[in-house]
Amino acid sequence: MLDLKGNRVLVTGGAGFVGSHIVDALVACGADVVVYDNFTRGKRENLESALSTGKVEVIEGDIRDTAKLDKAMEGVDYVFHEAALWLLECEQNPRLAIDVNIIGTFNVLEAAAKHKVKKVIAASSSSVYGDGLYFPTDENHPFNNYLFYGATKIADEQLLKAFYKQHGLNYIALRYLNVYGPRMDYRSAYTMVIISFLKRIEAGEPPIIYGDGSATLDLVYVEDVARANLLALTSPLTDEVFNVASGKETTLNELVELLLKLTNCNLKPVYQPRDSKLVTRRYGCPKKAKEKLGFEAKVSLEEGLKRVIEWWNSLRDKVS
């Protein structure tokens, strides 16, 4: 286990899905954690365990609020930047996407540079690749994005490079593939499919697959993603981007089949037309992260889905 005792670490979006798991990992490493979240998507219950340790301070704030962000950054050693507008909302409100994901990121980096933060670990996305030109998709793949969300993540990566070159602000950007696990946001574009399948299975209704079921995901468990973030933090590398991927391709048909097996259900899926704007294949190359960060996804899809089912069963009444 890493030793981060005596380090003050700020996590934007720290009450959210990935952010709260990063907070848990930081607390386990002895860090003093500042969660900066406006609670639009984040939930205080995601921080219940971390808050019980007394090692976590919560600041309710927006990354567009430069004064509050500047104050929160005082005395901070490291930053994990997870706050962002989610994919579908970016497509529905692109001006807000630019305001939150690009200008908000600029605000975070500006405050971090001002307060001499040692390193920023920032959440990027495989959306920067758009439709893959080859598979598995590695970090050298050109930007082939056509979504507003992906455009904001490309811009964020460029801002990170600019702050590094002009202000010496060290960083690593992590391009997440399809993250899933407990606390997942059931409203988001890709991970929501697991919850939507489970809700219909629970109701005795056939899961709905959009398209013919051949669309693929590279599903990586959230605790593995949190571990990748900490490995990036403690790595001597800077000015780098890495995929955070399982390196395994799963079709929607395979995903449904596994969920039906784990829930002991004999329903058959039904098929409906798929949104043509969404990418039909995700399959990331994990080689660079393994070689340079020592990161490799450990939680199998079957084990991860078992944990998701247990979590969902514990709270489904609250979100149904």
Q: Is 171 a catalytic residue?
A: no
CB 82 within 8 A of CB 219: no
Residue 296 CB partners (closer than 8 Å, separation 6+): 286, 289, 290
Confidence (pLDDT) at 132 = 96
* Percent of the chain topping pLDDT 70: 97
DSSP string, 44-77: GGGGHHHHTTT-EEEEE--TT-HHHHHHHTTT--
| pTM score of the predicted model | 0.96
Q: Residue 190: pLDDT band by 50, 70, 90 thresholds?
A: very low
**Mean pLDDT, rounded, for 25-36:** 98
Residue 91: C-alpha distances to residues 63, 96, 157, 194 (Å)? 20, 10, 19, 21
**Mean pLDDT, rounded, for 151-159:** 98
Burial profile 282-317: b = 16 or more Cβ within 10 angstroms, e = fewer? bbbbbebbeeebebebebebeebbebbbeebeeeee
The pLDDT tens digits for 175-188 are 999 999 999 977 65
Q: How many whole angstroms from its chain centre is CA 253?
A: 24
Q: Which of 36, 78, 129, 149 is catalytic?
A: 149
Q: How far apart are the C-alpha atoms of 100 and 141, rounded to whole Å?
A: 26
Which residues of the chain form beta strands (DSSP E)? 8-12, 32-37, 56-60, 78-81, 119-125, 171-176, 178-180, 208-210, 216-217, 219-221, 240-244, 250-251, 270-272
Q: How far apart are the C-alpha atoms of 274 and 214, rounded to whole Å?
A: 11
**Mean pLDDT, rounded, for 132-139:** 98
Q: How far apart are the C-alpha atoms of 84 and 50, rounded to whole Å?
A: 22
Architecture of 8-179+219-245 per CATH? 3-Layer(aba) Sandwich (3.40)
The pLDDT tens digits for 199-233 are 899 999 999 999 999 999 999 999 999 999 999 99
Residue 286: C-alpha distances to residues 4, 139, 174, 232, 292 (Å)? 26, 9, 11, 14, 10
The pLDDT tens digits for 271-316 are 999 887 778 999 999 999 999 999 999 999 999 999 999 999 998 6
Confidence (pLDDT) at 122 = 99
| Side-chain half-sphere exposure of 75, counting CA atoms within 13 A | 8
Q: How far apart are the C-alpha atoms of 301 and 194, rounded to whole Å?
A: 12
Phi-psi region at 6: left, alpha or beta (left = phi > 0; alpha = psi -120 to 50): left
Average pLDDT, the chain: 95
Q: Read off the tokens for 314.
A: 């514990």
In the chain, where the domains are located: 8-179+219-245, 181-217+249-289+298-319
Q: How far apart are the C-alpha atoms of 124 and 316, rounded to whole Å?
A: 29
Architecture of 181-217+249-289+298-319 per CATH? Alpha-Beta Complex (3.90)
* The amino acid at 62: D
CB 20 within 8 A of CB 221: no
Q: Kindly tell me if the per-residue pLDDT of 3 is higher than 50.
A: yes
